[in-house]
Structure 1
């Protein structure tokens, strides 16, 4: 099997086996990454069979403006809500650096919860002529993406999981990712009810000095499916949560830990204390909002916990080993994880 890729005026015919051999030899790494990205984009446009009807032309009314003004960066996304938030925040950071605007599709998941500073279109088909640029390893910062200065439209690809893309607009991002009033009110009521139940349980002691610590425990699919385990995903062990909670207990007079998770049963078996309450039977957006309204944070692994900690804005403790050493997953992070974990956060194990 071969791949045909058009680079400028040159048509390159490249066997898949040869492309893999180049990659394994680590030759011209950045060129290989770019080549693979272009190949993936090209393959997505190949019809499934010779009987497939040609793709319909893009009929979004904004397409003409998009191609005339040439000042947009398209933001296409995939994955869970945490991935969506990283992609938008990073592309927004890229756009603000070079006086461009972000363009997203109207069915974007984030628009259900947040008011974003983006141009909304009916269909991302308007981005077909935009220049395709690849991020490189997903959790490492690529400084070139903050210098998209040509007077053209861009289409970056794909996850951009580094705070360094949007550090210069961090406060702006926090404002854009502020949940709408109804959701925040629901979260505040959950926290208030949990605090009152805790104080009653403690017979009234420390009511005015309770420090609320949000705890996010990611397990779910990365523990159940072989492909994730083999790729190198790690989950935080019980000892990590015990260590992190001891840190807060020693620092504050009275603590209350609110635990949210995709495996609340595991949490009840492994996270203990009379200052622990479990938030359960809520949609993920309610859990996320609750965590963002806490004073401080304990995150395990994953982007959901990352964003709940970042938006809460207090102290954050994180698990130091989100990827198994030597795994494929480990290679997408920088050497010391500093491109991914936010400055000032405290790593524990």
Structure 2
């Protein structure tokens, strides 16, 4: 190679190196991000194709359906007088679903069917046909609710001689208003849990009386306070959906109502955020229930004379089962949100009659 060509090659190499050294970092990052995105797109496509293949295989007519081995299936299909109750969510959701389906079933002279691992059976005295597997309900007719917090009278007219499977939440007291005494009896706690709640309440009253220099504890009016925060105060998806949390001034106003009405009050506070409660709910007549399981909290709240609820179905059922006066937070859903749309215009389908709304 001639000396002139060698010099040209050296100049080219130097220019290339200089170009790479001075290449904008942002542009390099852009190329790298494109490579990563393409890789992710290809990976997503592959996963999607795999999912479609699995779905196709699972729905193929050549693959027989898994047989239902519950012995009750034959009776279920022959008698056609049942309503299946499938549930989702937390304990309060389970209680609404069962109570509402039970209300529908009694109107139609049918019996409720639930699965043996149902959470309600662990704590309450439920009157339902218990099966090993809800596969017995495969042939039942689905009836889908509309907005969960709005009552639909049509669900109290499911009188055809067929089996039904009402689906989802049904969070309105109006579905079971004709069987409220029955529902209260079925949601009476089993002995061990009830006795534990009674013991906690008794111990709290006695400690309070001692603190208050010997006032007779029989004259103490107990008020259960349920404060829900946790997920709905912490996670963006709940906030964007429209959940609200009751502010400190709401609890202060509600407690003042009871303090003015009764000579001696004792507020028992149950919450998924006791630290927040200790900072925002004050008074020498306040006790915080700590280190209890959720079912014990619920049982304690139901043993109180009266109730203050914040938002959610757990506090709703605590108040309903306590049976005294109830104060509720008037704005459980943010106006204009998707969550607000599940309730009736004035929330009357959800909140029980004669309960007192405050803000």
Kindly provide the CA deviation profile for residues 233-261 of structure 1, in whole angstroms up to 9, marking residues without a partner as x: 01100000000000000000000000000
* Alignment partner of 1:79 is 2:89: yes
Give the deviation of 1:206 after TM superposition: 4.6
Q: Which has the higher helix share?
A: 2
- Asked whether 1:209 is paired with 2:195, we answer no
* Correspondence for 1:49 among 55, 64, 70: 55
Corresponding residue for 2:187? Answer: 177
Checking the alignment, whether the CA contact within 8 Å between 1:140 and 1:333 is kept in structure 2 is yes
User: What do residues 18-40 of structure 1 show as CA deviations (whole Å, max 9, x unaligned)?
Assistant: xxxxxxxxxxxxxxxxxxxxxxx
CA contact (8 A) 1:75 1:102 kept: yes
* Alignment deviations for residues 64-118 of structure 1 (CA, whole Å, 9 cap, x no partner): 1111000001000000000000000000000001100000000100000112110
The yes-or-no answer on 1:161 pairing with 2:171 is: yes
Structure 1 stretches of at least 4 aligned residues deviating more than 3 Å after TM superposition: 46-55
Q: How far apart in 1 are the matches of 2:67 and 2:354? A: 49
> 8 Å contact 1:137–1:332 — kept in the other structure?
yes
Preserved CA contact (<8 Å) 1:199 1:207 = yes
Q: Does structure 1 residue 187 correspond to structure 2 residue 197?
A: yes
Deviation at 1:269, TM superposition (A): 0.4
Q: What residue is the counterpart of 1:339 in the other structure?
A: 349
Quote how far apart the aligned CAs of 1:54 are. 5.1
Q: For 2:233, which of 198, 207, 223 is the aligned residue? A: 223
User: Which of 129, 133, 146 is matched with 1:123 structurally?
Assistant: 133
Where does residue 295 of structure 1 map in the other structure?
305
1:316 is the counterpart of 2:316: no
Q: Deviations over 1:138-165 (max 9, x none)?
A: 1000100000010000011110000000
Structure (1/2) with the larger strand percentage: 1
Greater displacement, 266-275 / 180-189: 180-189
Task: Count residues with an aligned counterpart.
Answer: 304
Shift of 1:216: 0.2
Q: For residues 94-133 of structure 1, what are the structure 2 equivalents within 5 Å?
A: 94-133=104-143
Give, in whole Å, the separation in 2 of the partners of 1:189 and 1:47: 57
Contact 1:206 1:254 in 2 (8 A): no
Q: For the residues of structure 2 that align with 1:168 and 1:178, how far apart are their CA atoms?
A: 18
Q: How does 1:237-276 map to 2 (within 5 A)?
A: 237-276=247-286
Structure showing greater Rg: 2
Counterpart residue number, 1:3: none
Counterpart in the other structure of 1:10? none
Unaligned runs of 5+ residues in structure 2 are 1-51
List alignment gaps of at least 5 residues for structure 1.
1-45
SS in 2 for 1:49: helix
> CA 1:131 to 1:107, structure 2 compared with 1: closer, same or farther past 3 Å?
same
Cα distance change on mapping 1:47 and 1:309 into 2, 3 Å: farther
**1:50 offset after TM fit, Å?**
3.7
Between the aligned partners of 2:248 and 2:53, the Cα distance in structure 1 is 49
Partner of 2:157: 147
Residue 55 of structure 1: how far off its partner (Å)? 3.7
What TM-score, normalized by structure 1, do the two folds share? Answer: 0.85
